Chains A and B, each alone.
Chain A
Amino acid sequence: MTLAERTDVRPGVAPPAPRPRRRTAVARPWLLLTPALLVMGGLLLYPLVRVLVLSLQDFGLRELVSGRTKWVGLDNYGELLGSADLWATVLPNTVVFAVVAVVLTVVLGTLVALLLARLTPLVRGLVTTAIMVAWAMPAVTGTYVWVFVFAPVDGIAVQALDALGLVDAATANPFAGRISFYAVAALNVVHHGFPFVALTVLAGLLTIPRELTEAAIMDGASAWRRFWSLTFPMLRPVFAVVTVLSTIWDFKVFTQIYLMPGGDGVNRNVLTLGTWSYVESFAQNRYGLGAAIAVLLTAMLLVVTMAYLRLLFREEEL
């Protein structure tokens, strides 16, 4: 482990590749790469092309069975972009949820990292293990537990809010309303997502020379001031990477939404691009329209990914 630690601790930054050695066999790297490239090409790249093609077809149950193709040009996109659902419901749900979840995840993760950095090794190990447990909780089971907590009538959260006089437990259903539905989803996603931010930022914090912090304290800088004038500028690349990665993950959250009551398309008010695409395809058998929605989601993610790549390229020579 020391090897990886010694080289560089910034996320996404691997040590520079060694100088090339003379090789007579040009084929060897390709021989080593072929199996992995075949799997990724066949199961990730080809389907991406295929989904683009599908989005230009009217592909339903009949086409699925017969294997025939029926081209419709941009009709699916016309229907998608002309849909009131997209602009009033699905896009706001997807984007606002992602933004809120990312902000909460990064802020909480950073606060926890700052706390961890100040703890004794023993306590830090204890808290880190607890964080790991939250991280390790599978999306499926994590979602069911939060659904259980917020279950109508006798869920613990609903009972507690009733005791505080905020809701009436007999009638309250957190999953019916759009905002309360996403509040529960955000809690779930932040619980699962902040450990990554906390541990990555902590790794960055430990690289800041102790003398710098001590000098700032000697100069009488407050904790707030120290964070914005010292820690944040030094860890800017770390914050950039955790933010972009969190954005990508929170944009494409699927399982957590789909498994909540109504999230599987029953309650159309809480659809996201991801669940909408899935429901159109596999519940309505409209694979063409589902593909068009998936292409829109992919295009949005591509924009975020480009930001990620630019960050990486700025910092290292691949």
Chain B
Amino acid sequence: MRAAAKGLGVTGVLVFTLFPVYLMIVTALNGEANAGSRTLWPDEWTFRNFAYVVTEGGFGRYLTNSLVVALATVLAGALLALLAAVAVARFRFRFRTSVLVMVLIIQMVPVEALVIPLFIQARTFQMLDSLFGLVVVYLAFSLPFAIWTLRGFVAAVPVELEEAAYLDGASWGRMFRSVLLPLVAPGLVATSVFSFIVAWNEFIFALTFMSDDQNYTVAVGLRRFFGQHATDWGAVMAASTLITIPVMVFFVIAQKRLTDGLVAGAVKG
């Protein structure tokens, strides 16, 4: 391929991928009186929109809610998925294939099919408007991918290493901590990033389950800045930036791990 064509391609990809992000940040930092004005380069730069959404807009509260929900989902998910992955990668047992096929199939289930029965169930158990209720749901969403991905990582750890640890007199727990855990750590990073994103970005369940705005997560809280007649785009984009930046930082840090996890699990984040 000629250098010019390459340069054109690279420029095209960079513009297409980064333009929305650029526009989001620029609009958030735009200090001009008419927040709805669509400028590519504002005359006045300010953090006013950020200050507004966090203090008066109540967005600080939503950020805290989302952080709590996401971290709880990540921790519980990593533990449950690792145990399950060890089971399917290390043991041969009846219905092992059935379990794996089930794990694959249930990731295809559309959330629209689950939100109706789970809403009714949550209402019955008085779990609506509870952050814990969301954590449980997000845990279920992130587990199939996590198990499927970690299974590849666990299977890649040579059994001989484990057996050597046993021969050296290590207990199962000791072997797990000293041999297995360090070697599957990259897989755990990949699945944790994935679980975090599931919980951080999820919209339908947060919208349906949470009625008290004190319990909103960031994805739902954003809607506050849409007025009946006019939208405060400066506020929307400042809040959007606050939601997006943590996820992007995670993605870029975990970039290598994530693509490897994908290759092992073949599921999009």
Query: Hey, which bits of chain A sit against chain B, CB under 8 A?
Result: 1, 3-7, 9-21, 23, 26, 28-30, 32-33, 35-37, 39-40, 42-48, 50-51, 54, 64, 67, 111-112, 115, 118-119, 123, 126-142, 144-146, 148-149, 151, 154-156, 159, 191, 193, 195-196, 199-200, 203, 223, 241, 245, 248-249, 251-252, 254-255, 258-259, 273-274, 277-278, 281-282, 287, 290-291, 293-295, 297-298, 301-302, 304-305, 308-309, 312, 318
Contacts and interface: CB of A to CB of B under 8 A. Distances in A.
B214 interface: no
Contact of B14 (A46, A127, A145, A277): A127
Given A4-B263, A199-B262, A309-B105, A140 B203 contact: yes
B93 A145 contact: no
For the complex of A and B, the 5 pairs showing the least CB-CB separation, nearest first, are A11-B266, A43-B140, A12-B266, A14-B152, A20-B92
Given A245-B266, A252-B111, 14 more contacts: A19-B159, A29-B96, A45-B102, A48-B114, A115-B10, A136-B252, A139-B203, A145-B240, A148-B38, A191-B17, A251-B110, A278-B204, A291-B113, A302-B105
Given A39-B136, A141-B240, A248-B108, A255 B152 contact: no
A131 B99 contact: no
A274 B268 contact: no
Contacts of B6: 115, 118-119
A277 to B, nearest CB: 5
Interface string B80-97: 110110111111110011
B144 to A, nearest CB: 7
Contact of B269 (A45, A135, A146): A135
B33 interface: no
B113 A295 contact: yes
B167 interface: no
Interface of B: 1, 6, 9-10, 13-14, 16-18, 20-21, 23-24, 27, 36-38, 40, 79-81, 83-84, 86-93, 96-97, 99-106, 108-121, 123-124, 136-137, 139-140, 143-144, 147, 151-153, 155-159, 183, 186-187, 197, 200-201, 203-204, 208, 219, 222, 233, 236-237, 240, 243-244, 247-248, 250-252, 255-257, 259-269
B139 A39 contact: yes
A15 B91 contact: no
A317 to B, nearest CB: 9
B contacts with A: majority SS = helix
Contacts of B144: 40, 44
B186 A131 contact: no
Contact of A33 (B88, B157, B263): B88
A112 B69 CA distance: 35
A191 to B, nearest CB: 7
Contact of B106 (A44, A304, A312): A44
Contacts of B10: 115, 119, 123, 127
Contacts of B100: 318
Given A4-B156, A132-B251, A156-B23, A199 B123 contact: no
Contact of A40 (B96, B140, B256): B140
